[in-house]
Amino acid sequence: MSGAGAPGGQPTSVELASQPDACPLSSTQQLWCAGDLGDDAGSFSPRFLSTRAIRISGRLDVDALQRALDDLVERHEILRTVVVRDADPKYQQVLAPVPVPLDVRDVTPIAGQSRDVQAETLAQEAMRSSLDPRVPPLLRSVLVRLDDNDSILVLVAHHTAADGWSMQLLLRDLSVLYAAHLAGRNAALPPVTQYREFVAWEHERITGPAAEAAMSYWREKLRGGEAFALPTDRPIPERHTRAYSASYFNVDAEVITAAAELARSMRSSLFFVLMAAFSVVAHKITGTTDPIFNAISAGRNDVQSQNVVGSIMNILPLRTDISDCATFREVMAKTRQTCVEAYTYELPVRQIVDEMPGIVRPKTDPWLCEVFVTMSQPQVDENDFQFGSGSYQIRKWVIDEPEASGPPEGFAWIVDVLPSGELTGHVLYNTDEIDESNAVGWAASYCQVLAAGVGAPDRDWRTL
């Protein structure tokens, strides 16, 4: 990259002045550009998506829904923003609002098949979509109608424009906008902060004295370490030849209740218990006692970012040395310390990696697959969005998918605690490099370790 632009390869205000509605990239957008493998693979692949599915009872007004979707693109600039990747330096540009494609599908219920099973299958089919991030809007929707009073609404956004937190905000706004169109009134929504406003604020935050103090922590914490990686069954190809697959798993509410009680007894959180179990599973698979996990963070630790639609998610390198731990309780205590420190000193992962490139496992080893861990925590109460006479977000999935939207690379491990108290999760993997049996086996091992650890926290963690 040339030396033009501001520090960090960002365009200056002078350079952007000739580009109407253009602005520098956020740290997350820079991360996506680092994983740019062209238009058909990597971060800008049409299959790198964020999705949500809502099951709706009662009639839905399609015209009001279309207008509400279009209002979303008007309200949130990022849904009509493209990353100009062939410029040097790269930048983002906001374009004019355009209508959101809404695909309405009427299907006939299958006799003898559970409505819930059919709804899940139809939702998965609708989410199995593609979206060109070069062509706004970066949002699509599918409405699948089983009958006049039973439907599934699917939102699909490109991941470079909307992360998981953003999708919850979009559901909230869509619900309010839809209700307003039905009632013929203005929508009562909070003032919107645009993504480019967040970018300007973020730049100030990560270049000040506090950022240098945080970097000192990361230099010391990560020295000599490397990201945890899974062994593959075949060498990782330069480009995948097939879509990712998803395998789902669930943990009973009784186990998660016990995990939450254990967390409270240690003045901790459920998240720390779930991460401690990952450390034990990592040891079972590879023998490591000092893993650095790529943990997906919302990246929204400040009030300014919590109502912004856009890709703000971050990757936190969580390093916990458990070699001197005797019990699962001690593993959990070590994990708690790691996580508290990491969130206290959180910086964009690109900033950390630029400073310490050695923590990234070299991609020259095709037999090692990096792992990304996500703990999903929806930030918008489901009572805050309502469609028809009743609706709920489909969050528990049981039907494995041979083709699913996946990460640009690596192996993704995603868990989500449901309102029912149970844990649902899935692993995303590519069979170009990892056999289904191994992916399913690792997920099963995690469930077993978690149950055993919270059931007997003072047991030797190596025997779980």
In words, the CATH class of domain 222-379+396-463 is alpha beta
Among residues 311, 366, 65, which one has the least CA distance to residue 166? 311
Which residues of the chain does CATH 3.30.559.30 include?
A: 222-379+396-463
Q: What is the CA radius of gyration of the chain?
A: 22
In tens, the pLDDT along 299-355 reads 998 888 999 999 999 999 999 999 999 999 999 999 999 999 999 999 999 999 988
Which of 235-249, 307-321, 382-396 is the least confident region?
A: 382-396
Residue 362 pLDDT: 61
Cβ-contact 142, 353 below 8 angstroms: no
Q: What is the mean pLDDT of residues 366-390?
A: 82
Is pLDDT at 11 greater than 90 in this prediction? no
Query: How far, in Å, CA of 228 to CA of 316, rounded?
Result: 13
**For the residues 18-27, what does the mean pLDDT come to?**
80
φ, ψ (nearest 5 deg) of residue 93 = -135, 130
Q: State residue 16's pLDDT score.
A: 44
Q: What is the CATH T-level fold of the domain 13-195, as seen in this structure?
A: Chloramphenicol Acetyltransferase (3.30.559)
Q: Give the Cα separation of 388 and 241 in Å (integer).
A: 41
Which pLDDT value is given to residue 376? 67
Alpha carbons 145 and 59: distance in angstroms, whole number: 10
Structure tokens at 268: 């901790």
Confidence category of residue 24, pLDDT binned at 50, 70, 90: very high
Per-residue pLDDT, averaged over 107-134, amounts to: 92
Q: pLDDT tens digits, residue range 28-61?
A: 999 999 989 999 999 999 999 999 999 999 999 9
Q: What is the mean pLDDT of the chain?
A: 91
Does the pLDDT at position 377 exceed 70?
A: no
Distance in angstroms (rounded) separating the CA atoms of residues 425 and 248: 6
Tens-digit pLDDT profile for residues 426-453: 999 999 999 999 999 999 999 999 999 9
pLDDT above 60 for 392: yes
CB-CB neighbours of 75 under 10 Å: 17
Q: Which of 249, 322, 245 is nearest to 281 (CA)?
A: 322
Half-sphere exposure of 386 (CA within 13 A, CB side): 7
- For the chain, give every residue range classified as CATH 3.30.559.10: 13-195
Q: How far apart are CA 160 and CA 207, in angstroms?
A: 23
Paired tokens of 191:
């003032």
Q: Lowest-confidence range among 33-42, 63-72, 225-234, 375-384?
A: 375-384
Cα gap 294→413, rounded to integer Å: 10
pLDDT at 4: 34
Tokens standing for 177?
A: 């906008």
Q: Name the token pair of 262.
A: 């254990």
For residue 120, which of 416, 405, 397 has the smallest C-alpha distance?
397
- Work out the number of other CB atoms within 10 angstroms of the CB of residue 433: 22
- Taking alpha carbons only, the member of 429, 162, 435, 422 closest to residue 308 is 162
Please give the Cα distance from 267 to 270 (Å, whole number): 10
> How far, in Å, CA of 249 to CA of 262, rounded?
22
Alpha-helical runs (H) found in 163-194: 164-183
**How buried is residue 449: exposed, middle or buried, by Cβ count under 10 Å (0-12/13-18/19+)?**
buried
How far, rounded to the nearest angstrom, does the alpha carbon of residue 318 sit from its chain's CA centroid?
17
Please state, in angstroms and as integers, the Cα–Cα distance from residue 82 to each residue in 90, 106, 161, following that order. 11, 33, 9
Q: How far apart are the first and last CA of the chain?
A: 49
Higher pLDDT among residues 178 and 13, named by residue? 178
Residue 314 identity (one-letter amino acid): N
Q: Report how far residue 157's alpha carbon sits from residue 139's, in angstroms, rounded to the nearest whole number.
A: 4
